[in-house]
Structure 1
Amino acid sequence: MKVVEIENLNLDILPTKKVEEFRSFNIYPIFEKDLDFNLEKDIDLNQYSYLKDEHFYNIFLVDNELVFENELNKFLEVSYEKFEDSVNKLYTLNSYINKEALNLTINEKLDKPLNIISIFQGNNKFFTNSLNINIKADVDILETFHNDLSKDFLISANRKYTVLEDIKANIAKVQTLQNGNIITNYKTDLKSNAILNLVNLEYKADLALNIFDSKLENENAVLNIDGIVKNKAKQRSGNIAFIEHIAKSTTSDIKIKHLLDENAHCLFDISSTVQNSALYSKAFQNSQTIILSDDAKINANPRLQIYIDELEAAHGASCGTLNEDELYYLCSRGISKAKAREMIIDSIELQVIREIELKAIRRYIKNLKRINHV
């Protein structure tokens, strides 16, 4: 069955030709693939035990069910709720497959970070993955998207982060998916003085698209999004955001770094609107791209719509190659050009990983990258 043949599917939620031409990033063909909606049952999670880490509370997310140890029951609460609307129409796609979205509430502060491991198993599958996280205490979360045995698949993942008043949430997402496609749709609900720091690390997927929908409706809410995209071959990655500042003294800061080789293609399409009610707000956007080949390309389109004068705002997009002076310096110390190139790329990537506050998460990502050779 093709995604576009889902019963009662409103095709208006899928990207239109006009929008895709504007972005020069057509994703419609992936919805026309003949994918299997019947998922594998009774997956043996023991084969993924190497993804667990003793420095984390490890949770598996498989087929829209959470699997975790009983010791977490006093901290976490699991329920289900109806799907919501979003300015991002693709957010509603999962509602045609699943009746409800999975809801995880973090009621108390944990002494270790959470590692939520999403597993996808099976070829030519269409996976849905919807999780709302309600955060009532300061928390560090790592989301790991991983596949060992799958190829030619499409993942439609929804995430809604609700952060309560005066709470700080640090969330890192790392995906090492290969031979497949993933679209992650984000919504945020940040209460007064809430802070959400989100770091996205994208590796290997044929297509990885992040779409953010965030309305900053409460005073002093802060949304920081950092990301690294490391693509080669014909891999494509995109970051699309609709950010609206409504309340006073709200902050949004979106920074994405791209490392593009061979025929890789990336999209940076960010729209931030500051309404006249959002006095003294701050809105920042920045895309930085290193082109490593003649055929790699990026479409960068940062946009600000501002209706007041009392604010701080800036947007920018830069594109260049590796620093020749740095290459020369390293080569003059006896390092091969290939190794010097690798070292500079790693240093750029490390700048983003360092935005993750918790050392345990940075170490886990380093080990995961080593396992997946990225």
Structure 2
Amino acid sequence: MKKPEPINSINKVETLTNTYKYINNNTTIYEVQENEVLTIIDLIDTDYEFIRELKVNDNATLNYIKIGKSKNSSSIKYINNIGKNATLNIAFFESENSKNTVETKLTNSNSSLNIDALIDLKDDAKVEYNVLTNHQNKSFSDIKFRNLLGDKSSAKLNMFSIVEETASFSKAFQNSQTILLSDDSFISVTPHLEILIDELEASHGATCGDLDKDSIYYLQSRGISEDDAKKIVLDAIRDEVVASVKNEQLSEYIKGLL
């Protein structure tokens, strides 16, 4: 593993700290040392079972980007450990079959977990996510899923966050937004918060519907065909999630992999 770049460096695509493509089922640990930044692109295009342990030491930042493109079905279990004043940013991009479990214990003060996911499926693809987050100290979590489901595809999302009595002044957020692009597509979402204290900020929610008809109508009124208008609206949703990586060059690189 190459040495991560200093925290004050600018991560450019051509000089990303690490770019990985995995073809085996070994347990893999990614560790970011104190005060450092690491960016990983994890391209999953096999049907193995994986374990990913993401360890972020004090005052460090890990940007983990998973691109799931397995034609069969991959299965991944994530075990996340985040240090004091450390941040784990995760971006999930799913276009094929996969089953995922994401377990995070926020045991250190001011640790942060950010998850931005795009589940963009067609044909009969199936994706499942079980996201389990435990706030044991003052900490932050923000879990967001954007789901675009066409044809006979389906997704199942279980988001469970618990805020312990020892985690006063934590923040815990969950959100899922789904657009069903066909009558045969299906989504099951279970957002759940278990809160054992009063001093915190927390929210959860899930929405499901069709494409925004007003946006499509507006574009059509400007001379754009209905099909092109729908594509523009969908691409805007995709771009919003890709932009969560907060690096323009990296965003463009990811678009090329999707």
- The 5 A counterparts of 1:123-142 are 127-136=24-33, 137-142=35-40
* d(CA) in 1 for partners of 2:20, 2:85: 29
* d(CA) in 2 for partners of 1:156, 1:139: 27
Corresponding position of 1:185: 77
Q: Which has the higher helix share?
A: 1
Deviation string 1:192-219 (CA, Å, 9 cap, x unpaired) is 111111111112x2x2122111100000
8 Å Cα contact 1:263/1:297 also seen in 2: yes
Deviation string 1:337-357 (CA, Å, 9 cap, x unpaired) is 111111111100111111102
State the structure with bigger RCO (CA 8 A, min sep 6), 1 or 2.
Answer: 2
- Cα-Cα RMSD: 1.8
- The 5 A counterparts of 1:245-260 are 245-247=135-137, 249-260=138-149
8 Å Cα contact 1:230/1:259 also seen in 2: yes
Gaps of 5+ in 2: none
Equivalent residue letter for 2:157? F
Equivalent residue letter for 2:117? G
8 Å Cα contact 1:142/1:361 also seen in 2: no
* d(CA) in 2 for partners of 1:170, 1:144: 11
8 Å Cα contact 1:107/1:135 also seen in 2: no
Among residues 55, 58, 66, which one is paired with 1:165 in the alignment?
Answer: 58
Larger Rg: 1
User: More deviation in 267-276 or 160-169?
Assistant: 160-169
Equivalent residue letter for 2:79? K
Q: Which has the higher strand share?
A: 2
2:234 partner SS: helix
Alignment partner of 1:327 is 2:219: no
8 Å Cα contact 1:264/1:295 also seen in 2: yes
State the TM-score, normalizing by the size of structure 1.
Answer: 0.64
8 Å Cα contact 1:115/1:144 also seen in 2: no
2:231 partner SS: helix
Corresponding position of 2:256: 367
State the TM-score, normalizing by the size of structure 2.
Answer: 0.91
Measure how far apart 1:168 and its partner are. 1.9
Gaps of 5+ in 1: 1-67, 76-105, 121-126, 148-152, 370-374
What number of residue pairs does the alignment pair up?
252
Alignment partner of 1:175 is 2:65: no
- The 5 A counterparts of 1:1-374 are 72=2, 75=3, 106=4, 112-120=15-23, 127-136=24-33, 137-145=35-43, 147=45, 154-177=47-70, 179-203=71-95, 205=96, 207-247=97-137, 249-369=138-258
* d(CA) in 2 for partners of 1:140, 1:134: 9
Deviation string 1:11-57 (CA, Å, 9 cap, x unpaired) is xxxxxxxxxxxxxxxxxxxxxxxxxxxxxxxxxxxxxxxxxxxxxxx
Measure how far apart 1:143 and its partner are. 1.8
Measure how far apart 1:363 and its partner are. 1.5
